Amino acid sequence: MRCICLAILATTVGVTPVVAATQVSVQGGGIYGTLSGSDFDNIESGLGFEGQIRTALGRRITLGAGVQHQSYGVTGVDENVGVFAIFIEPRMTWPGTAAIVPYVGARGMYTRFSFNPGGTEVKATGSAFSAAVGALVAFGPGLDLDVALHYVFRVSFGNSVVNGTEQPNSDAHGTGIGVRAALSIGLGGR
């Protein structure tokens, strides 16, 4: 009710209404990515999933928070490296059509990798930062396909911990590329 009153008031005084506080969406989908750099020479491309919740902060700005998990193959090893991340992702949309709305975004992540070759437990934590270009493709009221290309300009893991013992000088740094497709379900539009 409060939102409707604010929208009516804004329209009455000649200001475009902003009902962003009520625009919330949830989304889930798949991701495909690679890690690059000499520290990741033996890491193959990987598949994964993500889920997030987004809220509008203004007419063109949204903020999302969520989790993602990817599994990367390792050359010559049967076990995969799992990378779990918690992230925040601000976005800015550009005027588009009724069916397609383009956006740019950035994602900051707290990351953790785990790897268990032959009963050995290897773990490390770190961070990653990416920039994204994407688009929301409308399927119906409150239902969008969210597709994006991410350039991970920095991924960094601290020293590895092997079976509980930190390994000096085992930190890893690099870059990456990711492609994401997710279904976004929400109320109040984009």
pTM score above 0.85: no
Dig out the tokens for 91 from the structure. 């976005």
Task: Give the domain CATH number at 174.
Answer: 2.40.160.20
Confidence of residue 119 (pLDDT cuts 50, 70, 90): confident
What CA–CA distance (Å, rounded) separates 107 from 175? Answer: 14
**3 lies in some domain:** no
Is the pLDDT at 167 greater than 90, yes or no? yes
What's the whole-number mean pLDDT along residues 133-153?
94
Percentages (nearest 5) of helix, strand, coil residues in the chain: 10, 65, 20
Task: Annotate 24-45 with b (16+ C-beta within 10 A) or e (fewer).
Answer: ebebebebebbbeeebbeebee
Query: How much is the pLDDT for 98?
Result: 81
Query: How much is the pLDDT for 126?
Result: 97
What CA–CA distance (Å, rounded) separates 125 from 114? Answer: 9
**47 lies in some domain:** yes
**86 lies in some domain:** yes
**4 lies in some domain:** no
Confidence of residue 97 (pLDDT cuts 50, 70, 90): confident
What CA–CA distance (Å, rounded) separates 70 from 87? Answer: 14
| 10-19, 83-92, 137-146 — most confident range | 83-92
Question: In the predicted model, what is the mean pLDDT of the chain?
Answer: 87
The count of domains in the chain is 1
**77 lies in some domain:** yes
Query: How much is the pLDDT for 156?
Result: 96
**104 lies in some domain:** yes
| CB-based contacts of 46, cutoff 8 Å, min separation 6 | 32, 33, 34, 70, 71, 72, 73, 80, 81, 83
**13 lies in some domain:** no
- 94 backbone dihedrals φ, ψ, rounded to 5°: -115, 155
Residue 96: DSSP 8-state? -
Residue 84: DSSP 8-state? E
Is the pLDDT at 24 greater than 80, yes or no? yes
Is the pLDDT at 8 greater than 50, yes or no? no
- Contact criterion met (CB below 8 Å) for 104 and 74: no
- 11 backbone dihedrals φ, ψ, rounded to 5°: -65, -40
Q: Which helix (H) or strand (E) holds 146?
A: strand 143-157
**9 lies in some domain:** no
Boundaries of domain holding 67 = 21-187
Confidence of residue 188 (pLDDT cuts 50, 70, 90): low
Give the model confidence (pLDDT) of 35-52 as tens digits: 999 999 999 999 999 999
- 74 backbone dihedrals φ, ψ, rounded to 5°: -125, 130
Confidence of residue 19 (pLDDT cuts 50, 70, 90): very low
Dig out the tokens for 109 from the structure. 């992540």
What's the whole-number mean pLDDT along residues 128-136?
97
